[in-house]
Amino acid sequence: MLLTWMLGCPVADPVPADSATDADVPTYNADIRPIVDRACLRCHNADGIATSFEDPAFVQAIAATIAERVKNGEMPPPAPDPACRDYEGSERMTLTAEEITTIGAWAEGGAPLGEDVGYATGDDAIPTIAPYDIELWQQVAYTPDFVEDGNDYRCFLLELGNEEPVWVTGVEPIIGNPKIVHHLVLYQVDDDVEVSDDPSGFECGGLGESGWDFWVGWAPGGGPMVLPEGTAMRLDDNARLVLNMHYYGDGTRAGESDLSGYGFTTQAEEPEHAAIVYPLGTERFTIPADEPAYEAGMDFTWQADYGTFHVQGVFPHMHLLGRAFEMSAGPDCMVDATPWDFHNQVSAFFKEEVVINAGDDVSLTCTWDNSADSPYQYNDPPEKVRFGEESNAEMCYAFTYGWFE
């Protein structure tokens, strides 16, 4: 942080009050704040994964850094391209060329705050589906043991105690310590499977176990999921869920703890379509060291006995070396998350569903950069990397949300 302050040259020379260009310089209150609220606050807030931009004086102080990162296309982090398939909230994921110019002019002009124009931050700047109908939490805080490679997996049994099935319409992870939570997955456990109910959790891997059905997942950058109208996901009566936490900490995070949970919104009546999350992807790849653009994925023909699949959204998932993620079904572009950015994993709920029919070609291509110059390279020098759940292994999954006809 201190470094950013110094490099960012916080406050430029003040613009003289009588300067002829004064009126042309955009101001924070009138021009910049609405952009920051729309496109930055969901990550840059006090409980978020990046430094808070809620204090205008702070944003003003790092104006030069902001202008530069925005101009380079680094911030906001790249997200799925709405031109491939538009999705809910896509307008929050990108800045227009004009907005980038405005931010640059503001920083250059001394980053004035300007007069208070009465602009108020909207409720949706930090998206949430609270108040929740149901909250499920770890029972006690957990302090991960960041051994060797910095990864720790821990599972917690969460019991709903519901007598009737519950239909879930919205899901929001409540992340206790975003600095060490790398991702989390919620599984619904089959009746006949035994799971430890130790309040402080139990050791587990990151990929679930047999009899655990993948339910929802979260990774950095993700927000609450609001499921499309007419659909909901079922939790069986006496539902038992396993919260699978993946903690990751470098040397500076030892001793930090976390207490996380999930909030749900629900409806009593059965929806028109019971939806599921269906993982598509590949585990069969080995990325050679020093390879700057290694591709793997899947390409197959959808068979009649799979049933017609109405896909309403996709959660693309790769790890730190991922650079591109492209998926299509039949004639439809589904996701183009290129460049891929690990810090912005978004569930894209489509404005228009994709229907996959028998005979459609379904294709997914993941591309990794395993060279020494890869932006988030974790091996020095680069090493061969395989499929795996750890942060120093890679994944190539499309978690597709939808319903079968």
Integer CA distances (angstroms), 42 to 37, 50, 54, 240, in order: 8, 9, 11, 30
Residue in 41, 26, 43 with CA at minimum distance from that of residue 99? 26
Q: Which listed residue (77, 176, 263, 297) binds ligand HEC by CB under 6 A?
A: 77
Q: Enumerate residues 6+ apart whose C-beta is below 8 A from 36.
A: 44, 53, 59
Nearer to ligand HEC, 34 or 330 (CB): 34
Residue 51 found at the interface with ligand HEC (CB under 6 A): yes
Integer CA distances (angstroms), 60 to 27, 63, 87, 328, in order: 10, 5, 32, 42
Residue 182 found at the interface with ligand HEC (CB under 6 A): no
Tokens of 260: 């996380």
Minimum distance from residue 8 beta carbon to ligand HEC (Å) = 8
Residue 100 found at the interface with ligand HEC (CB under 6 A): no
Q: Which listed residue (112, 144, 208, 221) binds ligand HEC by CB under 6 A?
A: 221
Q: Enumerate residues 6+ apart whose C-beta is below 8 A from 3.
A: none
Q: Which listed residue (274, 332, 343, 383) binds ligand HEC by CB under 6 A?
A: 343
Q: Which listed residue (64, 70, 227, 287) binds ligand HEC by CB under 6 A?
A: 70
Q: Which listed residue (39, 175, 189, 398) binds ligand HEC by CB under 6 A?
A: 39
Residue 65 found at the interface with ligand HEC (CB under 6 A): yes
Residue 49 found at the interface with ligand HEC (CB under 6 A): yes
What is the sign, positive or negative, of the torsion defined by CA atoms of 392, 45, 346, 279? positive
**Is 368:287 a contact under the CB 8 Å cutoff?**
yes
Residue in 223, 197, 204 with CA at minimum distance from that of residue 43? 223
Nearer to ligand HEC, 50 or 259 (CB): 50
Residue 105 found at the interface with ligand HEC (CB under 6 A): no
Minimum distance from residue 324 beta carbon to ligand HEC (Å) = 18
Residue 43 found at the interface with ligand HEC (CB under 6 A): yes
Site stretch for ligand HEC (CB under 6 A), options 66-74, 248-256, 298-306, 385-393? 66-74
Residue 96 found at the interface with ligand HEC (CB under 6 A): no
Minimum distance from residue 92 beta carbon to ligand HEC (Å) = 8
Size of the site for ligand HEC (CB under 6 A): 21
Q: Which listed residue (60, 344, 374, 400) binds ligand HEC by CB under 6 A?
A: 344
Tokens of 132: 């929740």
Number of residues that this document lists for the chain? 405
b (16+ CB within 10 A) / e for 151-169: bbbbbbbbebeeeeebbbb
Minimum distance from residue 283 beta carbon to ligand HEC (Å) = 27
Minimum distance from residue 51 beta carbon to ligand HEC (Å) = 4
Integer CA distances (angstroms), 127 to 75, 175, 341, in order: 18, 14, 20
Q: Enumerate residues 6+ apart whose C-beta is below 8 A from 88.
A: 226, 348, 349, 350, 351
Nearer to ligand HEC, 44 or 310 (CB): 44
**Is 245:155 a contact under the CB 8 Å cutoff?**
yes
Minimum distance from residue 162 beta carbon to ligand HEC (Å) = 33
Minimum distance from residue 349 beta carbon to ligand HEC (Å) = 17
Residue 316 found at the interface with ligand HEC (CB under 6 A): no
Per CB under 6 A, residues contacting ligand HEC are 4, 39-40, 42-44, 49-51, 62, 65-66, 69-70, 75-77, 95, 221, 343-344
